Chain A
Amino acid sequence: MNRSRTAWLFLTPALLVLGVFFVLPVIGALGLSLTDYDLYALADIHNLRFVGLHNYWALLQRPLFWSALGHTFYFVAAGVPLSIGASLGTALLLNSPLARMKPLFRTVLFAPVVTTAVAVAVIWRYLFNTKYGLVNSALAGLGLHPVDWLGDPHWAMPTIIAFAVWKNFGYNMIIFLAGLQAIPAELYEAARIDGASAPRQFWHITLPMLKPTMVMVMVLTVAGYFQLFAEPYVMTEGGPLQSTMSVLYLMYEDGFKWWNLGVASAVAFLLFGIIFVITVLLLRLTRRGEPA
């Protein structure tokens, strides 16, 4: 039919781009992860050998992979709740009838989201500088000892987490704000008439009504936080003592520093698998107890 043909013509450019530059490479990555593609294969493709699951097996026995995975989980487990908490908190403040100048506050709070991650990471590097950083000078003002934020293996990751929360919370804040505004005012009125306090209203009306928004925000934020790369690349170069080495950083180093593209593909696929499983688990857990 003519109209169906038109539809496909309209779809062709986008599907071609996505097919050639996304779908094909993803399939290629799976294939690549089963080979020993390295510098020699890059020079001459005849050096390429099929190694089956060897890359995956080797990764599971490599301490650096486990520590990178551990750091990434640390970043996600601490960063996501903090980030969502900040988003929800600021959204509640902005939604309060008592708040003044809401558009201005909304814009200012959202501003970090549109900034360039690399550029603002550079700013944070100086703010958290041990000797001349404003953060330590503020601590000194409070009579506290300076902290070697990015040079101490215990503090480097928390500093990166604080940075990520600062940079990202505005995005979910806007989504929560829209969710809050969609809750019918009558629900709160009825609750007030029944004498429910503000915390009880929050617990029994706001949170349940926000649940669909919350689930979506959680899934997207978790997936996004697993893709940690630019922040440690700029702020710590994966250090100190590899304490901020993330899974993607490992993939980048394996792939584009040491040119072990086969191994790096296996890293990428394992990360994908982990994100996939966690997404499914999150959706399962949050759907439990809901009427089907």
Chain B
Amino acid sequence: MNPRLARWLVNGALLGCAAVAVLPLLWMLSVSFMAPGEASSLPPPLLPTHPTLGNYRELFAHAGMGRYALNSLLISSAIALLALVCNLMAGYAFAKLRFVGRERLFQALIGALVIPAQVAMLPLFLLLKYAGLVNSYAGVIVPGMASIFGIYLVRQFARSLPDELLEAARIDGAGEWRIFVQIVLPLLKPIMVTLTIFTFLAAWNDFMWPLIELTGQEHYTLPLALASLAREHSEDSELMMAGSVVTVLPVLLLFLALQRHYLQGLLLGSVKG
């Protein structure tokens, strides 16, 4: 084939795919600035005639969007932070500390990955109900405090730490905890960033468990609020698009800022031995 034609074809196809990927998001942004009812005219407009922030004002002033955004932020941050601590410690232990049954326990955890999380949801709901945690932030947070995927990610990364370094510290008389905090943690910084953004994004976007656990609107996260708005206000496309922007934009920006770490984690977590 003619090399110039081939270059055109490859880049044209990429451009087409990129357009399909991003146009719905751009359309969301555009409609969110339209006046109420404007998007429901024929032919459907692509850009607002008089851009307005009215939909956003309506969302935050009357639909409680500020509260839902705070809920999302609080829950996702708590899960990301707590999961970071638990997964770092466990992943490091699986990678670098010797104990009887280490490989077998790790294999069992990996095997448990085939169990869909939803299988646990019904009894988990009952467990939390008897513990009085249904419809509380804690109820959404506690099951997310550790994850097999997170432990796996940390273990894969921590295995490359040099054993000599740890042995030297032990010979110098450093305790295991001190070794972990002063020597290991600084070396694990890249995976800490990766794990945090991964967990945060997953928690922010999570839908099914919060839907089950949070029965009262005052605790709703953004996806729950949006889903319930969509059922009540299905006609107000401009308002709904503003709500979608508020929900999507934070995670999209976070990803753009830290995408190198995110993609690295994706690859580290997918290369199974």
Q: Confirm or deny: B100 has a beta carbon within 8 angstroms of a beta carbon on chain A.
A: yes
Q: Is the CB of B204 within 8 A of A4?
A: no
Q: Confirm or deny: A265 has a beta carbon within 8 angstroms of a beta carbon on chain B.
A: yes
User: In angstroms, how far is the closest chain A Cβ from the Cβ of B114?
Assistant: 6
Interface hits, B63-102 → A, CB 8 Å: 85-87, 89-90, 92-94, 97-100, 102
Q: Is the CB of B146 within 8 A of A94?
A: no
Q: Confirm or deny: B244 has a beta carbon within 8 angstroms of a beta carbon on chain A.
A: yes
Distance between Cα atoms of A259 and B7 in the complex (Å): 59
| Contact A170 to B21, CB < 8 A, known contacts A29-B122, A96-B10, A98-B11 | yes
User: In angstroms, how far is the closest chain B Cβ from the Cβ of A209?
Assistant: 15
0/1 per residue, B109-132, Cβ < 8 Å to A?
100101111111111111100000
Q: Is the CB of A8 within 8 A of B251?
A: no
Q: Confirm or deny: A153 has a beta carbon within 8 angstroms of a beta carbon on chain B.
A: no
Q: Which residues of B contact A17 (CB under 8 A)?
A: 86, 142-143, 145-146
Q: Which residues of A contact B10 (CB under 8 A)?
A: 93, 96, 98-99
| Contact A3 to B27, CB < 8 A, known contacts A108-B22, A111-B252, A256-B212 | no
Distance between Cα atoms of A22 and B145 in the complex (Å): 11
Interface hits, A173-221 → B, CB 8 Å: 174-175, 178, 216, 220
Q: Which residues of A contact B123 (CB under 8 A)?
A: 24-26, 28-29, 32, 265
User: Which of A51-59, A65-73, A77-85, A229-237 lies at the binding interface?
Assistant: A229-237
Q: Is the CB of B31 within 8 A of A272?
A: no
Distance between Cα atoms of A184 and B67 in the complex (Å): 53
Number of A residues with CB within 8 Å of any CB on chain B:
87
Q: Which residues of A contact B25 (CB under 8 A)?
A: 111-112, 115, 120, 123
Q: Which residues of A contact B251 (CB under 8 A)?
A: 114-116
Distance between Cα atoms of A244 and B188 in the complex (Å): 44
Tally of A-B Cβ pairs under 8 angstroms:
270
Distance between Cα atoms of A171 and B202 in the complex (Å): 14
Distance between Cα atoms of A11 and B212 in the complex (Å): 29
Distance between Cα atoms of A1 and B146 in the complex (Å): 27
Q: Is the CB of B24 within 8 A of A275?
A: no
0/1 per residue, B39-58, Cβ < 8 Å to A?
11111101000000000000
Q: Is the CB of B86 within 8 A of A23?
A: no
Give the interface centre of B207, B251, B252 by most chain A CB atoms within 10 Å.
Answer: B207
SS class, residues of chain B in contact with chain A? helix
Q: Is the CB of B86 within 8 A of A109?
A: no
Q: Is the CB of B97 within 8 A of A6?
A: yes
Distance between Cα atoms of A120 and B192 in the complex (Å): 29
Distance between Cα atoms of A256 and B214 in the complex (Å): 12
Q: Is the CB of B90 within 8 A of A118?
A: no
Interface hits, A1-53 → B, CB 8 Å: 3-4, 6-8, 10-11, 13-15, 17-18, 20-26, 28-29, 32
Q: Is the CB of B124 within 8 A of A21?
A: yes
Q: Confirm or deny: A251 has a beta carbon within 8 angstroms of a beta carbon on chain B.
A: yes
- B148's nearest neighbour on chain A, judged by CB, is A18
Q: Is the CB of A124 within 8 A of B115?
A: no
Q: Is the CB of B97 within 8 A of A25?
A: no
User: In angstroms, how far is the closest chain A Cβ from the Cβ of B245?
Assistant: 8
Q: Which residues of A contact B151 (CB under 8 A)?
A: 14
Q: Which residues of A contact B117 (CB under 8 A)?
A: 22
Q: Is the CB of B223 within 8 A of A119?
A: yes
Distance between Cα atoms of A237 and B43 in the complex (Å): 28
Q: Is the CB of B118 within 8 A of A134?
A: no
Give the interface centre of B25, B31, B201, B231 by most chain A CB atoms within 10 Å.
Answer: B25
User: In angstroms, how far is the closest chain A Cβ from the Cβ of B34?
Assistant: 12
Q: Which listed residue, A25, A120, A126, A166, touches B31 by the CB 8 Å rule? A: A126
Query: What are 11 pairs between A and B in contact, CB < 8 Å?
Result: A7-B98, A10-B89, A13-B146, A14-B87, A111-B255, A116-B244, A123-B25, A174-B267, A175-B266, A256-B212, A261-B122
B→A interface (CB under 8 Å): 3, 6-7, 10-11, 13-14, 17-18, 20-22, 24-25, 27-28, 31, 39-44, 46, 85-87, 89-90, 92-94, 97-100, 102, 109, 112, 114-127, 142-143, 145-146, 148, 151, 176-177, 180, 201, 204-205, 207-208, 211-212, 222-224, 226-227, 230-231, 234, 237, 240-241, 243-244, 247-248, 251-252, 255-256, 259, 262-263, 266-267, 270, 272
